């Protein structure tokens, strides 16, 4: 499905989709310094549309810009409002949102500091990132030969444009080999994350996930799953773990705004568990979807109603 909408919010005003253009010398296009977010808006059972964890996403956007030494010319509240208005003006009931902060044209070279900081919010219809069948039955994954960034060679807590070349290379590598998604190790050889998702495993009846203080992006969906699991009496062990633990895990699932809660049924030609979606994955997947588009009222603070 192609990306399309009627209007894009750009530098404080709405412009037609076809007119949201930038100069070929846009600095971020050449050097990758900028930040972005991926956010979903869902239509819930009551018919209302709600953007899921909007404040947390925009806070992370601002923090990513701080890491990049970019001064954002809009407040967090202004960008949050722009997201809500973008959904409204396009008449979407559910959609994916892409807030983006980037450096415009002007100076070139690595030291350019005077270029205008530009901000956009784009929305479009987007289904399951790893496919509806992947959500239901699980995907095939492969450990990539590309490592996730070291914590001191790249600022891994920022959702920074240029850093995603690392993930793109990993994703393209495994897709060329016939797999759906890449799993990346850190530079010490421990499991980090997938190309765009955090990872959870059920191993010997315990739920594990890679800790925040490591090489992973601190995912907002990851935080949601940690909260939902604890509320359901499922204890979580946040520690680094190894590739062989993945191979012998009972369940593996990936989480992220785009991928939502996607099970892994096979990794490196090894069947995970019995090859079906396991009970912990099913329970947390159901709890998540009840939060974002069901009838749950457990966490109203996670919902920014579009009105």
> How many Å apart are CA 83 and CA 307, to the nearest integer?
12
Q: At what angle do helices 54-67 and 220-231 cross, to 10 degrees?
A: 140
162 in Cβ contact with 31 (< 8 Å): yes
Query: Which phi and psi angles does 271 have, rounded to 5°?
Result: -70, 130
The SS3 of residue 53 is coil
Q: Report the alpha-carbon distance of residue 64 to residue 5 in Å, rounded.
A: 26
Q: Per the residue annotation, which of 48, 125, 157, 159 is the catalytic one?
A: 159
Cβ neighbours, 10 Å, residue 76: 15
CA distances from 20 to 90, 92, 94, 122, 214 (A): 15, 19, 22, 10, 37
H helices then E strands: how many in the chain?
Answer: 8, 17
| Rounded distance between C-alpha atoms, residue 102 and residue 30, angstroms | 11
| Backbone torsions φ then ψ of 63, nearest 5 degrees | -65, -40
The residue count of the chain comes to: 307
Nearest-CA neighbor of 267 among 288, 250, 283?
250
Look up 159 and say whether it is catalytic.
yes
CA–CA separation, 219 and 211 (whole Å): 11
> 198: which strand partners?
255
Spatial contact of 183 and 119, defined as CB atoms under 8 Å apart: no
CA atoms within 13 A on the CB side of 24: 0
Residues in a beta bridge with 21: none
Q: Which residues are known catalytic residues?
A: 159
């Amino acid at each position: 499905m192609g990306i399309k909408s009627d209007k894009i919010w750009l530098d404080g005003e709405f412009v037609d989709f076809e007119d949201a253009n930038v100069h070929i010398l846009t600095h971020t296009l050449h050097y990758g310094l900028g930040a972005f977010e991926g956010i979903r808006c869902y239509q819930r059972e009551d018919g209302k549309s709600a953007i899921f964890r909007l404040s947390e996403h925009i806070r992370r956007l601002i923090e990513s810009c701080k890491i990049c030494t970019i001064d954002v010319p809009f407040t967090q509240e202004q960008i949050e409002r722009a997201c809500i208005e973008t959904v409204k003006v396009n008449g979407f009931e559910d959609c994916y949102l892409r807030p983006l902060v980037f450096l415009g044209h002007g100076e070139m070279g690595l030291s350019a500091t005077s270029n205008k900081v530009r901000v956009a919010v784009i929305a479009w219809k987007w289904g399951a990132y790893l496919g509806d069948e992947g959500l239901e039955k699980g995907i095939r994954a492969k450990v990539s030969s590309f490592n996730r960034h070291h914590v001191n060679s790249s600022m891994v807590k920022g959702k920074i444009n240029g850093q995603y070349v690392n993930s793109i290379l990993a994703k393209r590598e495994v897709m060329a080999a016939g797999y759906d998604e890449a799993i990346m190790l850190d530079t010490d050889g421990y499991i980090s994350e997938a190309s765009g998702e955090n990872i959870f495993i059920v191993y010997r009846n315990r739920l594990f996930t890679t800790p925040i203080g490591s090489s992973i992006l601190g995912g907002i969906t990851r935080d949601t799953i940690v909260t939902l699991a604890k509320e359901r009496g499922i204890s979580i062990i946040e520690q680094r773990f190894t590739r062989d633990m993945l191979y012998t895990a009972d369940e593996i699932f990936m989480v992220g705004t785009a991928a939502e809660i996607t099970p892994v049924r096979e990794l490196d030609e090894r069947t995970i568990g019995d090859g079906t979606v396991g009970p912990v994955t099913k329970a947390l997947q159901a709890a998540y979807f009840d939060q974002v588009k069901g009838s749950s009222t457990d966490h109203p603070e996670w919902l920014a109603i579009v009105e």
